[in-house]
Structure 1
Amino acid sequence: MRPIRLPEPPGGPVDIPEIFGGGLNVIRRAVVIGNGFPGAENQCIGLVRALGLAEKHTLYRVIRPRGGINEWLRCLPVSLHKMVESVIRRILGDSQFVTTIQQRRISPMVTHNGGGVGLSSILEADAKKIAAVARETFEKEGPLLVVASGRDTISVASTVRSLAPQHVFVVQIQHPRTRLDRFDLVVTPRHDYHVLSPTGQQEIPQFMRRWITPREPPNKNVVLTVGALHQADSAMLRIAALTWHDELAPLPKPLLVVNIGGPTRHCQYGADLAKQLVGSLRSVLATCGSIRISFSRRTPQKVSNIILRELCDHPKVYIWDGEGPNPHMGHLAWADAFIITADSVSMLSEACSTGKPVYIVGAERCTMKFSSFQKTLQDKRVVRPFTGMEDISDSWSYPPLNDTTEAAARVREALAERGWTLQR
């Protein structure tokens, strides 16, 4: 029997509706839940970029009350913090409370390109609303990817997943300390597990170990990285190279970029390290064409003052004063070598993703997981200590850190196990 061929419908073939073309299994959009700190939010956006959703994400932010006595309440969970703040307002009255806030102003978050992000331009994170959007738009737009980072975002991201488990895929960046099963994936640096290592066990007294997390090795939904995720991918660096070409391309080579952070609880330093850095920089000036120095928001004034006083008048040295566009991405694109203080996991992770020489200052002052991170970098030979004896014109290389791309690959694998994929 000859097969029957049905005629084509008038007007030619009919397009298959998107919903029947894998629409319910394809992620086309993302939500980023941030905490207002660039180091955390840039990790989320970096992962979203690596997943191809750079232009299709919405930023929400967990907003704590700020100013005055609120700075002393930051150790509380966000919900409890807001309750306490409300009680204080009732007791003191709004006018008195506003006066208290004004005694300590908070500057807006600064993005990588120097723009300011005020709270008024960011949606406040509401777990119930985000979950409702995911459920209500699922049949039309497919699943929702949720990426969060930072302690304040943990409860919001986990609540979104509990309210819409069939409609969202939740990635929590940085270790949430407990109950990892609240998330589909957890992306965290390997050094967060320093407390379980033999060195960590020696550093931490027995009676304190029960209070320190994590207390268990990573399970299958934990993605371990070397450093922090970030946005400094090849596409971003190509754009930065073009944007900063006129200012940075003409500089005498080699161009040495110096990024100075600020002391932390486990990486403490002050004026003594600044003086050491100044002396070492003077020693390598002869082998540098140009030096560009930048401070972070955490840099103590006593540190920046020493650097400015000792080096600002040298013809080879330029120190960014914080005014105008932030040259950070331009520096990553155009630098021939970097010197970075050991406190900043983010700045080190970005620099080590370029494959260019990276020298560290102050690694010997780090303890606990910061010390573990420094040891990993040195074991991988992606960094060297800065002593002042270097010839900056001598280039050396290494396999660049590729944490963001590798984390994105793990997200894709986990989505595939669930029967979902990302829009290409």
Structure 2
Amino acid sequence: MTMKPILLPEPQSPTSRGVPDIFEVGFSGSFVRRAVVIGNGFPASENQSLGLVRALGLADQHLLFRVTRPRGGINEWLHWLPVSLHKKFDYLIKQIILLTSRRRKLVPLPLENGSHPVGLGSVLEADVKRIVAMARNTYEKDGPLLLVACGRDTISIASSIKRLASQNVFVVQIQHPRSNLNRFDLVITPHHDYYPLTPQAQEQVPRFLRTWITPREPPDRHVVLSVGALHQIDSAALRSAASAWHDEFAPLPKPLLVVNIGRPTSNCRYGADLAKQLTTCLLSVLVSCGSVRISFSDRTPQKVSYIIAKELGNNPKVYIWDGQEPNPQMGHLAWADAFVVTADSVSLISEACSTGKPVYVIGAERCRWKLTEFHKSLRERGMVRPFTGSEDMSETWSYPPLNDTTEVARRVIEALAERGWRLRL
């Protein structure tokens, strides 16, 4: 069974479309040559920051710092606390345990930003003072510092650096910080984050709770809106992955269907019911598939993965990745002819849609709140279709690939130019 290959368009340079050339004659401003990424330890969040840095051509000129929280036990229920307060609470709990069990003396609590109390792992912690000093002390030699952060736990760190070194840094915050957007130079967030401000959303939320819903006001000049999540996937990355995974994927019978299964979330709840629905649909389309490769998230519930493995694990057309390295995700994106993705994961769906290949979503009817807006947006653009089990996988369709990261990079370059700064690539 043969399929007509889909040719991906070459990615446009973020510096095209009228953005001033970074080597413009007569330019007297500063050049941005380096970046700092503030991560929160979650791959989905850090991947967004790294994807933007890559699109800006700074993949080899960046440093990664992390904001870390205590893990395990009661800490898993305390993520609603500010990071600094969470660490102090964790420290006190550990000291109480030490005092009651071993009669040890209290150890002074480190209060400096970037230090961490007893019990935390040895991590390169995001340190406001250290990063501010680096930005100031190296400004004359190395130019301004681009800082990219993503996730709620990074907000206070990024905004503090902006406040203390505003003349030396350009701060980009990915994911909506809820309020006071002027704490950052740019905020990158998807359109569906503004769903809470729509009339239909307002009807679903009691008035006294509305001030706690992100965001609190419409987007202003600080905000750049995307369709989905940023990531590191572009045509160059796919070509490289196609070469790297050639020996494993080239011999597989076509068409190759890749199935990515995430995990239930507060806005997309499911369990064994969706697993059974998915296996039924996959069994229905197997006749038109040459090969099927299934990947689970590291947080996919066991009851979901068990049902799918039990029903499909022994089928000769099906391969289920066991979670061991290397992760085949890049190979899947490069070699797949079509994708099936569970509706919970904005990141997985965004990556699949960046290929321009057919993307089928299962479970969208179980989503609520702003995730419904995300799926509606993709359907209207012709990027996704519901997975029903009646599809013929030998028939293909395409669309302009989702190109959020490149578009956002272009907006960052424009904003830098307004400051009189240019990228030095």
Report matched runs for 1:246-325 at 5 Å.
246-325=247-326
Partner residue, 2:191: 190
* Alpha-carbon distance, 1:203 to partner: 2.3
1:93 counterpart (91, 98, 102): 98
Q: How many residues are aligned here?
A: 385
Q: CA deviation at 1:24?
A: 6.2
- 1:12-55, Cα deviation, whole Å (9 max, x unpaired): xxxxxx9x996960000000000000000000000000000000
Is 1:35 the counterpart of 2:40? The answer is yes
* Structure 1 spans left out of the alignment, 5+ residues: 1-17, 98-117
State the distance in 1 between where 2:101 and 2:302 align: 31
Distance 1:348 1:370 in 2: 12
Shift of residue 208 of structure 1? 2.3
Q: Deviations over 1:286-327 (max 9, x none)?
A: 100000000001210000000000001101000001113000
SS at match of 2:229: coil
Q: Which residue of 2 aligns with 1:336?
A: 337
8 A contact 2:29–2:420 mirrored in 1: no
Partner residue, 2:74: 69
1:412 aligned counterpart, secondary structure: helix
Relative to structure 1, the CA distance from residue 260 to residue 290 in structure 2 (aligned partners, 3 Å threshold; closer, same or farther) is same
For the Cα contact (< 8 Å) 1:24–1:139, is it kept in 2?
Answer: no
Matches of 2:230 and 2:378 in 1, distance apart?
Answer: 15
SS at match of 1:123: coil
Q: Does 1:234 align with 2:235?
A: yes
- Measured in 1, the distance between the counterparts of 2:359 and 2:77 equals 37
5 Å-filtered alignment, 1:214-229, equals 214-229=215-230
Q: State the partner residue of 2:108.
A: none
Please say which structure displays the higher CA radius of gyration.
Answer: 1
Q: Which amino acid aligns with 1:407?
A: V
The one-letter code sitting in structure 2 at the alignment partner of 1:339 is V
Alignment-mate amino acid for residue 88 of structure 1:
I
* Counterpart position of 1:47: 52
Q: Deviations over 1:313-351 (max 9, x none)?
A: 101000001113000011000000000000000000000
Paired amino acid for 1:285: L
Aligned mates of 1:119, 1:260 — CA distance in 2: 30
How far off is 1:85 after superposition? 1.5
The amino acid that maps onto 1:67 is G
Larger RCO (CA under 8 A, 6+ residues apart): 2
**Secondary structure of 1:33's aligned partner:** strand
Amino acid at match of 1:354: T
2:371, 2:143 → 1: CA distance?
Answer: 40
Q: Which residue of 2 aligns with 1:134?
A: 135
Counterpart among 22, 30, 33 of residue 25 in structure 1: 30
The code of the aligned residue for 2:74 comes to I
Report the TM-score when normalising by structure 1.
0.88
Q: Is the 8 A contact 1:24 1:141 kept in 2?
A: no
Give, in whole Å, the separation in 2 of the partners of 1:269 and 1:68. Answer: 25
1:88/1:24 CA distance change after superposition, 3 Å? farther
Contact kept in structure 2, 1:23 and 1:141, CA below 8 Å: no
Quote the Cα distance in structure 2 between the aligned partners of 1:119 and 1:257.
36
C-alpha contact 1:24 1:143 (8 A) present in aligned 2:
no
By how many angstroms is 1:210 displaced?
2.6
Q: Secondary structure at the match of 1:348?
A: helix
Q: Mapping of 1:95-174 within 5 angstroms? A: 120=122, 123-174=124-175
The alpha carbon displacement at 1:205 in A equals 2.8
Question: Partners of 1:232 and 1:94 in 2: how far apart?
Answer: 51
Q: Contact 1:150/1:173 (CA < 8 Å) preserved in 2?
A: yes
Structure 2 residue matching 1:93: 3-state secondary structure: helix
Quick check: 209-218 or 224-233, which moved more?
Answer: 209-218
TM normalised by structure 2 equals: 0.88
Q: 1:94 to 1:34 in 2, by over 3 A?
A: farther
SS, match of residue 292 in structure 1: strand
User: Any gaps of 5 or more consecutive residues in structure 2?
Assistant: 1-22, 103-119
Distance 1:197 1:208 in 2: 15
The residue number in structure 1 matching 2:200 is: 199
Q: Following the alignment from structure 1 to structure 2, what is the Cα–Cα distance between the partners of residues 96 and 348? A: 49
